[in-house]
Amino acid sequence: MVEALNIKGFRLFPGYLDRAAQERIVGDLRRVLEDAPLFQPVTPRGKPMSVRMSAAGRFGWVTDRRGYRYEPQHPNGTDWPVIPESIARIWSDLADCPKSPECCLINWYGEGARMGLHQDKDEADFTYPVLSISLGDEGQFRMGNVERGGKTASHWLQSGDVVVMGGEARLAHHGVDRIRFGSSTLLKAGGRINLTLRVVT
C-alpha cells in the first residue's frame, strides 16, 4: 500500500488483483450487467455523461433530470443485482469499515470517455470510505482538494489497482481525465471499468 497524490487518506494498492482475479470479476460483472444493463446517465442539466453506468447492491447511484441520488432499482424497474462475492471480499479485506458496502457503482469508459472533477457526497455518512477498483484500460485519475480549486495531481490507474479513499480524501474532488483506449487486453472490446463500493445509508 502506498499513500499517493499528497492527500491524507488516499491509499493505493497497485496490482492488488492478479490477472485471474480480474478475469473472475469481469465474468461476475457480465452476469450483473445481463440483469442491470449499462445505461447512459444524463446530468441534472440534461448533458449526457460519456461514461455508461450500472450498479449492484441495495442501491445504485443514478443521475437524470431529477438530480443525483441513490435508487433501490435500476431505471428499468428491477432491483439491482447482489454485489458479487469476488468484489465484496475486497472491501472486507481493505476498507477497514464496520459496515458492508450498499452500492457497487459500475462505470464503463469507452474510447474518449472521461469524468470531470466531482465529490462523492450523496451518501449519508462520510466517515465510511469509498473503495475503487480499476479494470481494463489505464485511466488517468486526478485528485484535487476538499474545497473547489487549488492544485491537483494525477496518477495513471492500471487494471487490478485498488484505491481506498477515506479521511481527507473521502470528500476530495476527483475525476478521470482520459483513458488509454486499448492499453489492456482484459476486456475484449477495450475500455475501462471502474467499480466503486460505497456505504449509502
Interface residues with Mn ion (CB under 5 A) are: 120
Q: Nearest CA to 187 among 89, 110, 77?
A: 110
DSSP string, 10-47: EEEETT-S-HHHHHHHHHHHHHHHHHS--B--B-TTSP
Residue 176 interacting entry, from ligand SIN, Mn ion, none, C-beta within 5 to 8 Å by type: ligand SIN
Closest CA to 195 of 152, 146, 125, 136: 136
Task: Between 35 and 145, name the residue whose CB sits nearer to Mn ion.
Answer: 145
Q: How far is CA 177 from CA 21, 115, 167, in A?
A: 26, 6, 23
Residue 132 interacts with which of Mn ion, ligand SIN, none, CB < 5 to 8 Å by class: ligand SIN
For 155-189, give the secondary structure using H, E and C: EEECCCCEEEECHHHHHCCEEEEEECCCCCCCCCC
Chain residues 27-56 in contact with ligand SIN, contact rule CB under 6 A:
none
Provide the residue count of the chain: 201
C-beta nearest to ligand SIN: residue? 194
The reply to whether 159 sits near ligand SIN by the rule CB under 6 A is no
Q: What character string, x for contact with ligand SIN (CB under 6 A) and - otherwise, covers 67-106?
A: ----------------------------------------
The CA distance from 148 to 139, in Å, is 22
Report d(CA 166, CA 129) in Å as an integer: 4
Q: Give the residue, chosen from 22, 107, 159, 184, that forms a contact with ligand SIN under the rule CB under 6 A.
A: 107
Q: Is residue 16 within the footprint of ligand SIN (CB under 6 A)?
A: no
Q: Which is nearer to ligand SIN, 98 or 145 (CB)?
A: 145
Q: Which residue is nearest to Mn ion (CB)?
A: 120
> What gap in Å lies between CA 166 and CA 7, rounded to an integer?
10
Among 87, 113, 176, 186, contact with ligand SIN (rule: CB under 6 A): 176
Identify residues 122-151 at the interface with ligand SIN (CB under 6 A): 132, 139, 141
Residue 143: CB minimum distance to Mn ion, A: 11
Report the interface residues with ligand SIN, using CB under 6 A: 107, 115, 132, 139, 141, 174, 176, 194, 196
